[in-house]
Amino acid sequence: MNVKIKEVKTKADIKAFINLPRKIYRNDPLWVLPIWNDENKLYTEKHIKTYRVYEKELG
């Protein structure tokens, strides 16, 4: 499997990031899909601004 690390910048990126576990665990019968609305709330602009205080970029 190829892994690509990409900075999440747009709403489309956020949606793709939230849906990533669905792609990874799609064949696992024990995996339970999280509630999308709860996942989406974690990555809203309000919460992102809070975390920017602690933001560090890995280089």
pLDDT digits (tens, 9 = 90+) for 18-48: 888 889 899 999 988 777 677 777 766 666 6
Q: What is d(CA 49, CA 13) in angstroms, rounded to the nearest whole number?
A: 17
pTM of the complete model: 0.54
Whole-number Cα distances in Å, 16 to 24, 28, 54:
12, 19, 24
